[in-house]
Structure formats: structure tokens, C-alpha cells
A and B are shown apart, each in its own frame.
Chain A
Amino acid sequence: GAGVSQSPRYKVTKRGQDVALRCDPISGHVSLYWYRQALGQGPEFLTYFNYEAQQDKSGLPNDRFSAERPEGSISTLTIQRTEQRDSAMYRCASSPGPGTSGSYNEQFFGPGTRLTVL
């Protein structure tokens, strides 16, 4: 089946604008993750969901960042009042989730959204 998709693939915005990044996980995957990745670094955990419940948001940098997954499928990461330091690759991943096989937290990554804040 289809893998994880993200949109838009590229987003250029002006400082102070709000942006919404979308993630469409693999069908049936319970868990959905958001990461931010700087060049030359590993993905930095932001938040994750099991079904529609946000389990952990400890990685969100500040209250300008929020995420939701209202129906337990598609998720949106919203950044309000963007700043230049928010420029990065934002990656989404999904995994089968708890109660499944031993690879319940194996991450299937989407292509990412490259965000540039001018």
C-alpha cells in the first residue's frame, strides 16, 4: 500500500505567518510521530500520537507549535507566528503501534516538508 505522505513538500513563508504541515500515515498505523531535522543532524522528536490521543508533546519547542490528529489518521503540525529559527525539515513517521508485533515502533517515514521562513 501507499507509504507515509506529507504536504506540502516545500513551504516558504514570511516571518510571523502561520503554517500548517500535513501528514497522512500508512493506513492502519496506530502511532504517528512528528520530528524536526536540521542539516547533518538526526531527527529531533517533537510529539507523537496513538490513535487521536497525543501521548507526548515534550519535544515541541514552545507554545507556537501544536499538533492534532482528530480522527486518528491524518495529522497536522501547526506553527504559529513563524520565526526564522523554525526553518528546518519537518518529518512525519507512522508505526504499527502498541499491541501489534515486536516491531510496533518501527518508524516509516514520509518524505518531509522543507520549511523556510524568510
Chain B
Amino acid sequence: SQQGEEDPQALSIQEGENATMNCSYKTSINNLQWYRQNSGRGLVHLILIRSNEREKHSGRLRVTLDTSKKSSSLLITASRAADTASYFCATDEYSSASKIIFGSGTRLSIRP
């Protein structure tokens, strides 16, 4: 079963614009992670935010977490062609901190 669900399923924007993806989850968590996958290749970890954190930055990435709404957002600023990829959120389960469940992903396309 899916713990996290991303929204939108697909997003196409112009290079230089900002991209925002959302993730909703169902149960209490210890942390939430975002991953990127290029063209069916391996998944790469982007950022982790703990349940007691509300916002985190890493380069052009900004992640927010609202545990009361069980939702997170990933913002990519000043998008580049290389950002074209699928983005997945992944959550653990509070009672089983090591079990990770991935959402179905957002496919981001950056138009030149």
C-alpha cells in the first residue's frame, strides 16, 4: 500500500520557473524524504526532513512539512533542464522507523 501520494502526477514548466510538488501521507512519521529518479535509472536521495522540522533548504530545494495536515511540499527554484526527472516522497512509519514507503511520484519536465 502507498503511504505517500504525490500531486500533481505530472508537471511541465519553462526553464527558470519554480516547480512545486506535494506529498500527502496517512500515518504518523519520524521523517519524510524526497528522491529523484532520472529516466528509469537509480533513485537519488535529495533531502530528509524530520517530523519536528517545518522547513529545510538544500541548494535550490526547499522542503516543508506540515504534520497536522500530513503533507509535505518540494520546491525547486530556478529550474534547469537537468531537473527533468521523477520525484518521489518517502515516509517511514512512526512505529517502524526503518520501513520506508514511497509514493507514486511526480514526473517533472522542464521545457527549454
Binding site for B on A (CB under 8 A): 31, 33, 35, 39-45, 48, 50, 55-56, 89, 91, 93, 95, 97-98, 102-112
Expressed in whole angstroms, the minimum distance between the Cβ of B31 and any Cβ of chain A is: 7
Is B104 a contact partner of A48 (Cβ separation < 8 A)?
no
Is A107 a contact partner of B42 (Cβ separation < 8 A)?
no
**B101 is contacted by which of A41, A45, A50, A89 (Cβ under 8 Å)?**
A45
State the majority secondary structure of interface residues on B. strand
| 27 pairs from A and B in contact (CB 8 Å cutoff) | A42-B102, A42-B105, A43-B88, A43-B102, A45-B99, A45-B101, A50-B98, A55-B96, A55-B98, A55-B99, A56-B96, A95-B98, A98-B97, A98-B98, A102-B31, A102-B48, A103-B48, A104-B97, A104-B98, A105-B31, A105-B33, A105-B98, A105-B100, A106-B48, A107-B33, A109-B42, A111-B42
B residues near A97, Cβ cutoff 8 Å: 98
Nearest chain B residue, comparing its CB with the CB of A3: B42
A35 to B41, CA, bound (A): 14
B 80-97 binary contact with A (CB < 8 Å = 1; else 0): 000000001010100011
Q: Which of B17-76 contact A (CB under 8 A)?
A: 30-31, 33, 35, 40-45, 48, 50
Is B104 a contact partner of A107 (Cβ separation < 8 A)?
no
B14 within 8 A of A: no
A70 to B18, CA, bound (A): 47
A73 to B45, CA, bound (A): 22
**B100 is contacted by which of A39, A45, A50 (Cβ under 8 Å)?**
A45
